[in-house]
Chains A and B, each alone.
Chain A
Amino acid sequence: MELAVENNGPSLKDESRELKIRLRRSQRRQKMKALLLVAPLFLFTLIVFITPIALMMVRSVESPEVQNAFPETSKALMQWQATELPSVDIYALMVQEIRQSWADKTLSQAAQRINYEDPGFRSLLTRTARQLSRGSAPKTAAEAKALLIKTNAQWGELPTWQVIKNTAPAYTSYYLLTSLDLQKNAQGDIVAAPEDQGIYVNIFLRTLWIAFVVTMICLVLGFPLAHLLANAPSKYANLLMIGVLLPFWTSLLVRTSAWVVVLQKNGLINGLLESIGLINEPLILLFNRPGVYIGLVHILLPFMVLSLYSVMKSIPGTYMRAALSLGAHPVVAFFKVYVPQTLPGVAAGFLLCFIMSIGYYITPALIGSPQDQMISYFIAYYTNNVINWGMASALGAILLLASTLLFVLYARLSNRNQIKMG
């Protein structure tokens, strides 16, 4: 709002300044009002959701277990050069702290933590601890070293100590790196993980791809149905609406089971096709990617339809009629006049379906093959089955980051198309 005021007389200048101030004041009032309207949900989300989730996410870089169990040894090992075996003093510290942490029950968590980076370390450490706590404490440092190596020869090898040194700091990049199929080599450089361990980047891409395909299918199928709902005479439209709403009353579990009944090898579709002689061999429609698409589209389609519908319902028919009366071909008018007005609905439906299909892992788990599992499946696995919350948080954080980046990109794109998302 630039007003050209330079060459005007003083009185006009004052007036315009006053106008500016008043404009600014009213803008500020509007802003305050807007903020007041947003505040309840924003604060609610911030307190009840963002804070606790942020505290969970911190776990993706925390690594307190080894220091808790072996405080002195950790300190000493962080000074140690890691080029040759540690000094006998470190051995003595280690023996003492293994015994102590075994008694305090802090050893197991450290053992589990180190086991993530070096499988088998858990049993090495617990076996050692069990043996050490049976005997009496060694008297000298040299004796401690001999004792430790006697319980297991691995204590006389350099890599054993290097991995403890690596896991000793209070913060770690291990979980985040693993989530991106990266790891640190012995020199501390970040390198790609071996082929049989690097799986997550693929799973992230797969997750996004499945979500994208599902969303596109929803859009293509949902658009005509939403249009029909919004424009059919109300005596039909309401009946149709009942159909769209029915799935909401039907549990996800029921709908997934229903697709199994319909699509399985000896299911209804194959039975039908076989009985009318179209096929001889049953088609494989389930436990593969198409099956997952069908199941997910079925769950998410109502979300797309209703998002489109609520926008289409508020589009006045006048523009379209105007275009037609001005002689536009119906198809041209539809794409040039009608479709642009539905874009906010398309954007909302796209966003909803995309984000939701990233999160729906139960359906792919039940009707997909292992190649169709999505990232949430693995997050649930790490959270619940093996309680590796560091890994779960790291995968969650990366998923969140990727989604946010996509959202920003999406907001840019939709802004350019003048569908502001806010």
Chain B
Amino acid sequence: MAFQPYHTKTDRLAHYLYWGVGLGVLLFLILPILVVIPLSFSSDSFLSYPMPGWSLRWYEEVLTSEQWTSALKNSLLIGSAATLLATILGTLAAIGLNYADFKGKNLMLSLMISPMVVPLVISALGLYFFFAEMGLNASFLGLVLAHAILGAPFVLITVNATLQGFDRNLMRAASSLGANPWISFWKVVLPLILPGVISGGLFAFATSFDEVVVALFVAGPEQRTLPRQMFDGIRENITPAILAVSTLLTLFALALLSTLEWLRRRNERLQGR
């Protein structure tokens, strides 16, 4: 965003203000997460500064304990599966809701977003009793279904929002040009609503990745997820081990996203854009 000679002083000021506010909010989001990272190297078990000394004991605990590694594996597995299910079902439903008007639409919508509204402890109990009948408690499938139910409303709401601005003529144009509905979905609809689908999927994943109440009821020892492992023993102690985990995850996410960004830029360069 280079300044053009015709930009006035106020324009520039507004421009700086605009970036300043945006970046300020971003700092609010990430600074607190960053400032506690040093505490994960603390030699004692207290979560406050000043630290008495440095050590890697919490990383050692996290990386060598089978509980932590299997919890991470479970969380990634269950989170991805639940996200996939929630994203597919939620996206289809959002498209359906915007496809035509029909009776009881608002009722259906409010029922489908109710998993967000019902307090988690009550959902957890209800799901427990239901899964008990089906033999789904303490199984991966059970937890995936439970988390998919909790995640689907997010996808539904975000995709629905992106569809509001969607011009239905585009689909008509596609079909008049001979595209079947399947092709027009992939080539026309999906690219346009993709930001909503991705955001919704992220929300669904975050929900599963940070959900402890339903997991406590529905999961058995085999399906112990990361948040459960983090809340484990909270009656007595919150250990810097949770900070070590979040530091590792942050590094992992940074590496992943930077790699993606690097690939994208390389791709752009190669295409000569």
Is there direct touching of A and B in the complex, by C-beta distance under 8 Å? yes
Binding site for B on A (CB under 8 A): 27, 30-31, 33-42, 44-46, 48-53, 55-56, 221-222, 224-225, 227-229, 232-233, 235, 238-255, 257-262, 264, 266-268, 271, 298, 301-303, 306-307, 309-311, 313-315, 341, 344-345, 347-348, 351-352, 355-356, 358-359, 375-376, 379-380, 383-384, 389, 392-393, 396, 399-400, 403-404, 407-408, 411, 419-422
Report A-chain residues with C-beta under 8 Å of the C-beta of B47.
Answer: 257, 260-261
CB within 8 Å for A30 and B99 given contacts A44-B149, A254-B246, A260-B47 = yes
Contacts A55-B129, A228-B18, A243-B26: A50 and B111 contacting too (C-beta < 8 A)? yes
Tell me if B253 is interfacial: C-beta within 8 Å of chain A. Answer: yes
Min Cβ gap B3→A in Å is: 14
A344 touches B36 (CB 8 A): no
Complex CA distance for A298 and B32, rounded to whole angstroms: 9
B25 touches A222 (CB 8 A): yes
B108 touches A38 (CB 8 A): yes
Chain A hits for B192, CB < 8 A: 314
Q: What are the 8 tightest A-B residue pairs by CB atom distance, in nearest-first order? A: A37-B96, A228-B22, A348-B161, A344-B164, A52-B126, A310-B195, A38-B96, A52-B130
- Encode contact with A along B60-82: 1 for CB under 8 Å, 0 otherwise: 00000000000000000000000
Name the distance in Å between B237's Cβ and chain A's nearest Cβ. 12
Q: List chain B residues, Cβ under 8 A from A351.
A: 113, 157
Please state if A250 and B115 are interface contacts (CB–CB under 8 Å).
no
Decide: A246 and B227 in contact? CB cutoff 8 A: no
Cβ contacts under 8 Å, A261 to chain B: 32, 35-36, 39, 47-49
From B99, B121, B164, B252, give the contact of A33 (CB < 8 A).
Answer: B99
Give Cα A348–Cα B90 distance, bound, in whole angstroms. 14
Interface contact B116-A356, CB-CB below 8 Å: yes
Contact B126 A46 (CB under 8 A): no
List, in ascending order, chain B residues with CB within 8 A of A233's CB: 1
25 contacts between A and B (CB under 8 A): A30-B99, A34-B97, A34-B100, A37-B95, A38-B97, A56-B125, A224-B25, A228-B18, A233-B1, A238-B264, A240-B22, A243-B29, A246-B33, A247-B30, A252-B227, A257-B36, A266-B48, A301-B25, A302-B29, A307-B161, A310-B162, A314-B193, A376-B121, A421-B160, A422-B97
Which residues of A are found within 8 Å of B115, using beta-carbon distances? 45, 49
In the complex, the chain A residue whose C-beta lies closest to that of B32 is A258
Report Cα–Cα, A232/B97, bound state, in Å.
32
With A48-B149, A392-B121: A311-B238 Cβ-Cβ less than 8 Å: no
Residue of B nearest to A395 (CB): B119
Provide the main secondary structure of the chain B interface.
helix
* A348→B200 CA distance, assembly (Å): 11
- B98-122 vs A: 1/0 string, CB under 8 Å? 1111100110111111111111111
- Chain A residues whose C-beta falls within 8 Å of the C-beta of B127 in the assembled complex: 48-49, 52
Interface size class of B (residues with CB under 8 A): 35 or more
Chain A binding surface, main DSSP class: helix
Chain A residue with the shortest CB-CB distance to B210: A252
For B37, the closest partner residue in chain A by CB is A258
Report which of A50, A221, A244, A384 forms a contact with B121, defined as CB distance below 8 A. A384
- B138 beta carbon closer than 8 Å to chain A: no
| Interchain nearest-CB distance for A244 vs B (Å) | 7
Which among A40, A254, A389 is the interface contact of B243 at CB below 8 angstroms?
A254
Q: Contact at A257–B162, with CB atoms within 8 Å?
A: no
**A96 vs B136: C-alpha distance in the bound complex, in angstroms?**
43
**Could you tell me the distance in whole angstroms from the C-beta of A152 to the nearest C-beta in chain B?**
36
Q: A247-B29, A307-B158, A314-B195 are in contact. Are A379 and B121 (CB under 8 A)?
A: yes
Contact of B22 among A45, A227, A248, A257 (CB under 8 A): A227
Instruction: Scan residues 126-147 of chain B and give those whose CB is less than 8 A from a CB of chain A.
Output: 126-127, 129-130, 145-146
Which of A40, A55, A266 is B126 in contact with, Cβ under 8 Å?
A: A55
Q: Identify the B interface with A (CB < 8 A).
A: 1, 18-19, 21-23, 25-26, 28-30, 32-33, 35-36, 39, 47-49, 89-90, 92-93, 95-102, 105-106, 108-123, 125-127, 129-130, 145-146, 148-149, 152, 154, 156-158, 160-162, 164-166, 192-193, 195-196, 198-199, 202-203, 205-206, 209-210, 213, 226-227, 230-231, 234, 238, 242-243, 245-246, 249-250, 252-254, 257-258, 261, 264-265
Distance, CA A60 to CA B181, complexed state (A)? 47
**Is the beta-carbon distance between A246 and B30 smaller than 8 angstroms?**
yes
Residues of chain B with a CB closer than 8 A to A302's CB: 29, 206
Contact, CB under 8 Å: B106 / A45? no
**Bound-complex Cα distance A27 to B36 (A):** 58
Q: Name the A residues within 8 Å of B113 (CB-CB).
A: 351, 355, 407
Residue ID in chain B nearest A37 by CB atoms: B96
Q: Return the chain A residue nearest B253 by Cβ.
A: A249
Give me 20 other A-B pairs in contact (C-beta within 8 A), A221-B28, A264-B48 excluded: A33-B100, A34-B102, A37-B93, A38-B96, A40-B92, A45-B115, A52-B127, A52-B129, A55-B126, A242-B258, A246-B254, A248-B202, A250-B249, A254-B245, A259-B32, A268-B35, A310-B161, A352-B203, A356-B116, A358-B117
User: Which A residues touch B98, using CB under 8 A?
Assistant: 422
Instruction: Tell whether A56 pairs with B28 under 8 Å between CB atoms, given A254-B33, A347-B161.
Output: no
**Known interface pairs A38-B92, A261-B49, A348-B161. Does A393 touch B122 (Cβ–Cβ under 8 Å)?**
yes
A239 to B260, CA, bound (A): 11
Q: How far is the CA of A238 from the CA of B165 in the complex (A)?
A: 24
Do A34 and B29 form a contact, CB below 8 Å, given A379-B122, A419-B164?
no
B114 lies within 8 A of A400 (CB): yes
| Assembly CA distance A31 to B102 (angstroms) | 6
Q: How far is the CA of A303 from the CA of B264 in the complex (A)?
A: 25
Quick one: closest B residue to A253, CB to CB? Answer: B230
Nearest neighbor of B88 in chain A, beta-carbon distance: A40
B254 near A242: Cβ-Cβ < 8 Å: yes
Q: Which residues of A contact B148 (CB under 8 A)?
A: 44
B202 pairs with A306, CB closer than 8 A: yes
